[in-house]
Amino acid sequence: MNKYEIMMIVKPDVEEEARNTLLENFKNILTKGEGVVDNMSEEMGLRDLAYEIKDYTKGYYVVFDVHTTPANVAEFERLSRINANVLRHLTLRRD
């Protein structure tokens, strides 16, 4: 297993309950098998974007610190690309 830091930006108009469900689903994908989410930081919250993305100027930022397999990360990235509520995501492998 490798250590990853994943940041995602969720649309600002998604209701809190739907956003929490979305984040929980992504957390479950990352913890499938032996994966562990060390920290899920929601303290960044709603912030201005540096540039407009899909007509949005704000986004809800979430950061995951995880120990998981590359297969789980690949599945996370695949699903975040096709999810309409996710504006952007970035995955970094930590050493």
Give the residue ranges of DSSP H helices in 1-95: 16-30, 70-82
Cα dist. 24→42, 52, 56, 62, 94 in Å? 12, 26, 23, 12, 22
pLDDT score recorded for residue 79: 94
More confident residue, 69 or 33: 69
The CATH number given to whatever domain includes residue 24 is: 3.30.70.60
53's CB contacts (< 8 A; 6+ apart) are 9, 59, 87, 88
What is the span of the domain harbouring residue 67? 2-94
What are the tens digits of pLDDT across the range 8-20?
A: 999 999 999 999 9
What are the tens digits of pLDDT across the range 59-79?
A: 999 998 999 999 999 999 999
Other beta carbons within 10 Å of 51: 5
Residue 36: band (very low, low, confident or very high) from pLDDT cuts 50, 70, 90:
confident
Number of folded domains that form the chain: 1
pLDDT score recorded for residue 42: 65
